[in-house]
Amino acid sequence: MSRSVYAVIMAGGSGTRFWPASRGSRPKQLLPLAGGDLSLIAETVERIAPLVPSERVLVVTSELLAEATAAELSMLPPENILAEPLGRNTAPCVGWAAAHVRRRDPSAIMMVLPADHHIGDPETFRKTLATAIAAAADGALVTVGILPTRPETGYGYIEQGERISDGVYAVTRFVEKPDLARAEQFLASGGFVWNSGMFFFRADAVLAEFERQLPAMAAQLTEYDAAAKEGREAEVVRSTYASLESVSFDHGIMERAQRIAVVPGSFGWSDLGSWTTAYELASKDAAENAVRADGVLVDSSGCYVSAPNGKLVALVGLHDLVVVDTGDVLLVMPRERAQDVRAVVDVLKSRRDPRV
Amino acid sequence: MSRSVYAVIMAGGSGTRFWPASRGSRPKQLLPLAGGDLSLIAETVERIAPLVPSERVLVVTSELLAEATAAELSMLPPENILAEPLGRNTAPCVGWAAAHVRRRDPSAIMMVLPADHHIGDPETFRKTLATAIAAAADGALVTVGILPTRPETGYGYIEQGERISDGVYAVTRFVEKPDLARAEQFLASGGFVWNSGMFFFRADAVLAEFERQLPAMAAQLTEYDAAAKEGREAEVVRSTYASLESVSFDHGIMERAQRIAVVPGSFGWSDLGSWTTAYELASKDAAENAVRADGVLVDSSGCYVSAPNGKLVALVGLHDLVVVDTGDVLLVMPRERAQDVRAVVDVLKSRRDPRV
């Protein structure tokens, strides 16, 4: 039996690691950070288009971002944009989207994808997704795990268990972000993959888990269904969303779900965690400079330069710097200090500067 | 006998060392590079105001810059701005200005000053000027020499001879820019001063030297006098200025003048040769950053930052950089590479970029 497939794109994020390009009102997923012309969220939709037509792509974002997100994804029906009145972590987000899918087709399979990742090999990515979709058909909650390439301490890990079918494995356990020693062990021992935050399940299966593990939330979602029949969903969501438990989907549902599986994959995945990653993904000149500006670079190498159209950026004698000019803000820092953009953002927040 | 004193400010320069702040149409002397709000040329006029009233201040500049220069010096009568149709080095510039002064008062003393220098101690500067003015009263051509503070190879030197009067010395010889070894000798031996490009003489005395040493030029200047009586000076200058010999006043007149003298001085002089100098003159914060912008500097020191009003400039983990944002152009370089801004300008000229 072939089930219809929906995609739910989680796009409520508002990180600061790509400041000053990203702002509260224009976060990372709305920016073309992967080197092309498309925003990350538009790339996400385009990437899965061979698997899911746009009328079955739902996006969950915040009310603040709903308009800009809809404008960025003009191929989607407007009703496919779900606007959370406030962020309550990922469990309510997935649950609400699952309720929407269930209304349309209870046995449909839905995949849940982050809006702001980069995939270097979309073809292999789609093959991995097809495997995960197939594995979800009989009611399992499936995640895709990324084959690790370094002892990363910034991600959660999943330990694979026995093989269930081709490319599909049982899950032995979820592991929180490890310290470096444990991360090195995981990498050396094999059988551990990074938790990608991508999930695959039937709408009815995941909502059954909500009823079992988060019954109050499940009851609220049922009320949303009832309100939707009366055309009052937005109103009821706005008045009740804050009462939903703020918990991650991993922690609230996946980790203790009755039937879970993992599909390991390797497809040039990056969560685009900082300007350093943007540099790594960008095309570069002979001196390893990634220049997204009208640049004149003299005796300079390894620099990432971004500036508004028409602006001339001249560098002399500089190496491994990030230079980002957004018109109203200029940021300059060594590439290796990219995580410390947070220090600047903290200063601006403390002085209530609107340019955050 | 007290003679009236005129000032002639030479303001035709169009250097590139302060690019991108300086442009062909807005060179260094029109910019507030010394740390205050006034442009260098306005500071120059203000600095000598206790010695010379504005109606006796003449400015020689280019036609291209005449309007902007007049706007910058609104205290001057418009007829005091002399616009050269093209640059022919400094001898024609001084000669033409001397002709103007002679028309008003042949026995007046004129001082010739560059428009784009910085003086840290204006009071001592004016005392030095008063000494030079007095020394010029009897017909000598007088120059002010700067007591050297380092073995600079970028300036010409003047060797002092015997004492003529208090603070006034004969000139033994003019020396072209020396190599480092000779510059070190000059500094060690004493008796050598930097050629500042400031001159003091009676209008009739200097024009007598033009007649003796550059007779063709002197004849042309006399024609300008005749044309001026008919209200046709600008027209005649425009059609004949290109025919004047292009030679420096030092080389064409001073070096072989019959009576010359030098007044050594020390008054915090700087010719503001590069962004490095601008950094040195600017006020700095506790981390030795000179910030002329809305700056958020984290773990950064020794940086010079200039940006348009309202622009936020954030630096993280950077040291001894120059960051100049002019809106249409951004320049970033180590302070020690400031001379290499020329390399960028050369690239822009070769591609006929208008932003030079």
Could you give the CA distance from residue B226 to residue B44 in angstroms, rounded to a whole number? 31
Identity of the amino acid at A14 = S
Last residue of some domain: A217, A242, A270? A270
Q: Confirm or reject contact between B340 and chain A (CB < 8 A).
A: yes
Q: Which of B106, B50, B57 is nearest to B77 (CA)?
A: B57
A232, two tokens: 């009052």
- Say whether pLDDT at A1 is over 60: no
Q: Nearest chain A residue to B307 by CA: give it.
A: A330
- State whether A347 and B315 contact (CB < 8 Å): no
Q: What's residue B192's pLDDT?
A: 97
User: pTM value?
Assistant: 0.87
A36: pLDDT strictly greater than 80: no
B262 touching A (Cβ < 8 Å):
no
CA distance A247 to A210: 12
Measured at the CA of B286, the angle between CA B282 and CA B291, to 5 degrees, comes to 40
Query: Are the Cβ atoms of A334 and B317 closer than 8 angstroms?
Result: yes
Same domain? B166 vs B261: yes
Contacts of B313 in chain A (CB under 8 A): 329-330, 332
CATH number at residue B119: 3.90.550.10
A355 assigned to some structural domain: no
**CB-closest option in A20, A312, A317 to B334:** A317
| Cα(B36)–Cα(A324) distance, integer angstroms | 29
| Of B103, B100, B106, B196, nearest in space to B148 by CA | B196
- On whether both B200 and B98 belong to a single domain, the answer is yes
Residue B276 domain flag: no
Spatial separation of the C-alpha atoms in residues B238 and B319, rounded to whole Å:
50
* Residue A15's pLDDT band (cuts 50, 70, 90): confident
Are B186 and B132 members of one domain?
A: yes
Positions in chain B whose pLDDT score sits under 70: 1
Q: Are residues B327 and B248 in the same domain?
A: no
Quick check: A343 and B298 CB within 8 A?
Answer: yes
Band of the pLDDT at A319, cuts 50, 70, 90?
very high
Residue B319: partners with Cβ closer than 8 Å, 6 or more residues away: B300, B301, B302, B303
Q: Are residues B98 and B168 in the same domain?
A: yes
Confidence band of A37 (pLDDT split at 50, 70, 90):
confident
Tell me the mean pLDDT in the region A181-187.
96
Q: Are residues A252 and A289 in the same domain?
A: no
Helices B215-229 and B203-213 sit at what angle, rounded to 10 degrees?
A: 130
In this structure, the number of other CB atoms found within 10 A of the CB of residue A123 comes to: 11
DSSP B104: H
A278, part of any domain: no
Q: Is B182 helix (H, G, I), strand (E, B) or coil?
A: helix
Residue A158 identity (one-letter amino acid): I
Give the distance from CA B188 to its chain's centroid: 27
What tokens were used for A94?
Answer: 């997935």
Amino acid identity, position A58 = L
Do B20 and B98 fall into the same domain? yes
Q: Domain for residue A275, yes or no?
A: no
- Residue A107: Cβ within 10 Å count: 15
Q: Are residues A305 and A264 in the same domain?
A: no
B156/A contact by beta carbon, under 8 A: no
**A349 touching B (Cβ < 8 Å):** no
Residue at a domain's end among B270, B305, B327: B270
Of A123, A110, A17, A18, the C-alpha closest to A57 is A110
User: Considering the domain boundaries, does residue A185 fall inside one?
Assistant: yes
Look at chain A and report how many structural domains it folds into: 2
Cβ contact (<8 Å) for A353 and B318?
A: no
The mean pLDDT of A131-141, rounded to a whole number, is: 96
Residue B278 covered by a domain:
no
How many other β-carbons are positioned within 10 Å of the β-carbon of residue A13?
18
Check CB contact under 8 Å for A337 and B316. yes
Concatenating the DSSP letter of every residue in B215-249 gives HHHHHHHHHHHHHHHTT-HHHHHHHHGGGS----H
SS3 B127: helix
Q: Is A59 left (phi over 0), alpha (psi -120 to 50) or beta?
A: beta
Q: Exposure of B306 by Cβ count < 10 A (0-12 exposed, 13-18 middle, 19+ buried)?
A: buried
Domain coverage including residue A186: 5-270
The sheet with strand A304-306 has its strands ordered as A290-292, A304-306, A321-325, A329-334, B312-316, B294-298
Residue A84's region, left for phi above 0, alpha for psi from -120 to 50, else beta, is beta
In a domain, B355, yes or no: no
Query: Which among B316, B323, B340 has the least Cβ separation from residue A344?
Result: B316
Q: Residues of A with CB below 8 A from B332's CB?
A: 313-316, 318, 321, 323, 332
Q: A177: pLDDT confidence band, cut at 50, 70 and 90?
A: very high
What pLDDT sits at residue A54?
Answer: 95
Share of chain A above pLDDT 90, in %: 92
Model confidence at A326: pLDDT above 60: yes
Bridging pattern class, strands B5-10 and B57-62: parallel
Q: Do B75 and B59 meet the contact criterion of CB atoms below 8 Å apart?
A: no
Tell me: do A191 and A227 sit in the same domain: yes
CA nearest neighbour of A329 among B317, B333, B308, B335:
B308
* ipTM score for this prediction: 0.87
Over residues A128-147, the mean pLDDT reads: 97
Q: Does A313 touch chain B (CB under 8 A)?
A: yes
* Structure-token pair, residue A343: 């220090």
Q: What is the 3-state secondary structure (H, E, C) of chain A?
A: CCCCEEEEEECCCCCCCCCCCCECCECHHHCCCCCCCCCHHHHHHHHHCCCCCHHHEEEEEEHHHHHHHHHHCCCCCHHHEEEECCCCCHHHHHHHHHHHHHHHCCCCEEEEEECCCEECCHHHHHHHHHHHHHHCCCCCEEEEEECCCCCCCCCCEEEEEEEEECCEEEEEEEECCCCHHHHHHHHHHCCEEEEEEEEEEEHHHHHHHHHHHCHHHHHHHHHHHHHHHCCCHHHHHHHHHHHCCCCCHHHHCHHHCCCEEEEEECCCEECCCCHHHHHHHCCCCCCCCEEECEEEEECCECCEEECCCCCEEEEECCECEEEEECCCEEEEEEHHHHHHHHHHHHHHHHCCCCCC
Domain assignment present for residue A276? The answer is no
What single letter denotes the amino acid at residue A264? P
Q: Identify the pLDDT of residue B16.
A: 87
More confident residue, A16 or B230: B230
A294 and A244 in a common domain: no
- A307 touching B (Cβ < 8 Å): yes
> Are A316 and B330 in contact (CB < 8 Å)?
no
Measured between CB atoms, does A346 come within 8 Å of chain B? no
Could you give the CA distance from residue A182 to residue A170 in angstroms, rounded to a whole number?
Answer: 21
CA distance A329 to chain B (A): 5
Cβ–Cβ contact A343 with B under 8 A: yes
Q: What is the mean pLDDT of residues A187-214?
A: 97
CA-based nearest residue to A254, from A211, A213, A193: A213
If asked whether residues A243 and A308 sit together in one domain, one would say: no
Structure tokens at B262: 């030098």
Give the pLDDT of residue B1: 52
Clarify whether residues A88 and A34 are in a common domain. Answer: yes
| DSSP conformation class of B328 | S
Q: Are A139 and A150 in contact (CB under 8 A)?
A: no
- C-beta separation of B33 from B21 below 8 A: yes
Contact assignment for A323 to B312 by CB distance below 8 Å? no
Nearest CA distance, A159 vs chain B (angstrom): 38
A1 touches chain B (CB under 8 A): no
Q: Say which residue the tokens 């030297």 belong to.
A: B209
Residue A13 binned pLDDT confidence (cut-offs 50, 70, 90) = confident
Q: For residue A86, report the phi and psi dihedrals to the nearest 5 degrees.
A: -160, 160
Q: Does A344 touch chain B (CB under 8 A)?
A: yes
Q: Which residue of A has its CA nearest to B20?
A: A314
Residue A307 and residue B330: Cβ atoms within 8 Å?
yes
Average pLDDT score over chain A? 95
Say if residues B144 and B231 touch (Cβ distance below 8 Å). Answer: no
Domain boundary among B231, B248, B270: B270
